[in-house]
Amino acid sequence: MGERTNITTKDGTFSAYVARPAKPKAPAIVVIQEIFGVNQVMRDVTDGLAGQGYLAICPDLFWRIEADIDITDKSEAEWKRAFELFNAFDVDAGVGDIAATIAHVRKDAGCNGKVGAVGYCLGGQLAFLTATRTDAEASVSYYGVGLENRVAEAEKLTHPLLMHIAEEDEFVPRPAQAIILAALKDHPQIEIHTYPGCDHAFAREGGEHFDAAAAKLANGRTLQFFQKVLG
């Protein structure tokens, strides 16, 4: 069972969901939400990482718009609200909140000092920016949206980044994927995997495009990556 913590910035205070591993000290991983807020899917991911031995924390990044958003992908009204939140979201402020989360969890008595990040959808873009703009030791991006407009930031990358790209992603079309791959595939800090036949959010368990085999493969690669970089 997870717990809640509060993180204070110069702009205000926001909450985060925390799941603790069995061991007293462990590397931490920041879980970066999709456009549905810190919902059950994100809490399950956070719990799952704790089960793998990590101190996992999922911050409420929509707090500047509305605190404690918790919606699903199951109704048209929720999708409409999710895209409203996406369009209102300030990416730069969000990365600042992730940096504040990293600093917060580093000071946690249960953290051994190492911190990684993993993000999905909007969080996939934010995970990429976490890798380029913060001191996180390792970052993982699942089907990040808008990355074709962010590739120049890779020149600032000093820590390892793992990327998962869905080849049939409705929100990251083939031309966008081509830009991303051409710019990043030879970067020494970046490892990229593409998933044939998979659409956006193929790793969202219970989602319309969930692909169990691809999700298992991607999640296995993510865990191996964190084990290698964070321990």
Q: Would you call 11 helix, strand, or coil by DSSP?
A: coil
Consecutive H or E run containing 115: strand 111-120
Instruction: Write the pLDDT tens digit of every residue in 197-213.
Output: 999 999 999 999 999 99
Instruction: Write the pLDDT tens digit of every residue in 141-171.
Output: 999 999 999 999 999 999 999 999 999 999 9
Question: What is the pLDDT at residue 118?
Answer: 98
226 vs 33: CA distance, rounded Å: 18
Q: What is the mean pLDDT of residues 216-229?
A: 98
CATH superfamily, domain 3-229, is Alpha/Beta hydrolase fold, catalytic domain (3.40.50.1820)
pTM: 0.97
33 vs 3: CA distance, rounded Å: 17
Consecutive H or E run containing 126: helix 122-133
Task: Identify the band that residue 1 occupies on the pLDDT scale cut at 50, 70 and 90.
Answer: low
The dihedral sign for the CA sequence 207, 95, 166, 157 = negative
Cβ atoms of residues 110 and 20 within 8 Å: yes
* Surface-to-core class of residue 8, CB atoms within 10 Å of its CB (0-12 exposed, 13-18 middle, 19+ buried): exposed
Instruction: Write the pLDDT tens digit of every residue in 109-150.
Output: 999 999 999 999 999 999 999 999 999 999 999 999 999 999
Q: Is 169 one of the annotated active-site residues of the chain?
A: yes
Q: Where are the domains of the chain?
A: 3-229
Of 47, 73, 97, 169, catalytic:
169
Q: Is 104 one of the annotated active-site residues of the chain?
A: no
Of 199, 200, 209, 211, catalytic:
200
